[in-house]
Amino acid sequence: MSITYLEAIREAQYEALRNDPAVFLYGQDIATFGGAFKATKNLSKEFPNRVFDAPISEDAMVGMAVGAAVEGARPIIEMQFADFSSVGFNQIVNQAATLYWRTNVPCPITIRMPSGGTAGSGPFHSQSMEAIYAHYPGLVIVTPATVEDAYWMLLDSVQLNDPVIYCEHKFLYYHLKADQIGDHELPIGKARIARPGRHATIVTYSAMVHEALRAAEELQLDGYSIEVVDLRSVKPMDTDTILASVARTGRLLALGEAFPWGGVTAEIIARVTTEGFHLLDAPPMRLNSKDTPIPYHPNLWKSHRPTTSTIAGALRRLLRY
């Protein structure tokens, strides 16, 4: 028996629906059809009247979730692709994110965002929106990189009394399998040491965790041990774990699949240089996708985003300094 990242997301939704009658699912094509990626497959069969098809109205989908949350519901909204959440941007950053601050009424909604690139997806079906949303106070942004986290962090998100942007990576849907879902170990807000090491730290999240782990293995052959920190949630960001890791290794590579300007890697480097400058033996380095829209052809796409070999190259430069 094994379970994929996608199945874990489905299982978590099943559990959330089973545990709490206040939970419902709303999104395009998620009922009978089971969702564009089948993340809600059979859920409407198992929970009739709890899983609804939405019109193609991302703004209204989020607005309705906020209104429902005020009335005590705990909606899970599925964006068909994270990219389309830009249509609901206003409701996310102005309505949902400000509700508690303004009125003292919590806003327990979870917005699932199928994020990141896959081959042949192109500019409008590949984007990573986590940094955009993390910029706004009042939102929690989670980026699960493992089957376990996909499952537990979704359940945690639904239980949280705040709006959560749940960034699930489409590349991991089928590529990532586990024998079973392990125990619930870390809460939202805590990073995980995905691989311990002594010579350099890679801080990353989501699908890039796996590229980073492969790069670390490659460098192992050269005699270097690389520590990989999986952020798990980019907001809140577990700065203590990052600093502790940099204290052990003295070198930092901040890695992300998203566009380079601003963003999560910039935030990691800002925190380490302002709070842990003295820990560094080399200037911190960052690696992101290229600063262009995300290309369609697999050849272009593969060299647009960081890969095991570009990460390994960056690490070698970092270690040589």
Partner 1 sequence: MALAPSINCAETDLTADFRDQFLLTYQHMLLARVLEEKLGSLYRAGGRIVGGVYIGKGQEAFSAALGVQLRKGSDIYGPLIRDQAGRIAYGEPILDCVRTYLGTITGPMRGRDGNIHRGRPKEGLLAMISHLGSLLSVVAGGLFARRQAGTLGDSIGATSIGDGGTSTGAFHEGLNMAAVEKLPIIVSIANNQYAYSTPNTRQYACENLVDRAAGYGIEGVSVDATDLASCLKAFRAAVARARSGGGPQMIVGTLLRLAGHGEHDDASYIPDKARQGTSARDCLAVAEKFALDHGWMNSTDLRELNEEVRLNVDQTISKVSNEPAPDPFKENWQALSSADLVEGQHEA
Q: Which is nearer to partner 1, 187 or 293 (CB)?
A: 187
CB of 162 to partner 1, least distance (A): 5
Out of 125, 169, 199, 304, which one is annotated catalytic?
Answer: 125
Pairwise CA distance, residues 225 & 201, whole Å: 9
Q: Which is nearer to partner 1, 225 or 239 (CB)?
A: 239
Pairwise CA distance, residues 242 & 269, whole Å: 10
Pairwise CA distance, residues 79 & 111, whole Å: 7
Pairwise CA distance, residues 90 & 157, whole Å: 21
**What tokens were used for 280?**
């560094």
Alpha helices in the chain (DSSP H): 5-19, 43-46, 58-70, 89-90, 97-103, 130-134, 147-159, 172-175, 208-221, 239-249, 263-276, 298-304, 308-320
Q: Which is nearer to partner 1, 141 or 318 (CB)?
A: 141
Closest CA to 201 of 244, 275, 242, 252: 252
Q: Which is nearer to partner 1, 154 or 216 (CB)?
A: 154
CA end-to-end span of the chain: 46
Residue 210 designated active-site: no
CB of 5 to partner 1, least distance (A): 24
CB of 206 to partner 1, least distance (A): 19
**What tokens were used for 312?**
């390994």
Pairwise CA distance, residues 247 & 251, whole Å: 8
Q: Which is nearer to partner 1, 71 or 291 (CB)?
A: 71
Binding residues for partner 1, rule: CB under 8 A, are 21-22, 24, 49-50, 54-55, 57-73, 75, 87, 90-91, 94-95, 97-106, 137-138, 140, 160-162, 188-189, 235-237, 239, 271, 274-275
- DSSP conformational letter for 137: T
Beta-strand relationship, 233-235 and 140-142: antiparallel
CB of 182 to partner 1, least distance (A): 23
Question: Look-up: residue for tokens 């949303």?
Answer: 133
CB of 73 to partner 1, least distance (A): 4
Active site residues: 125
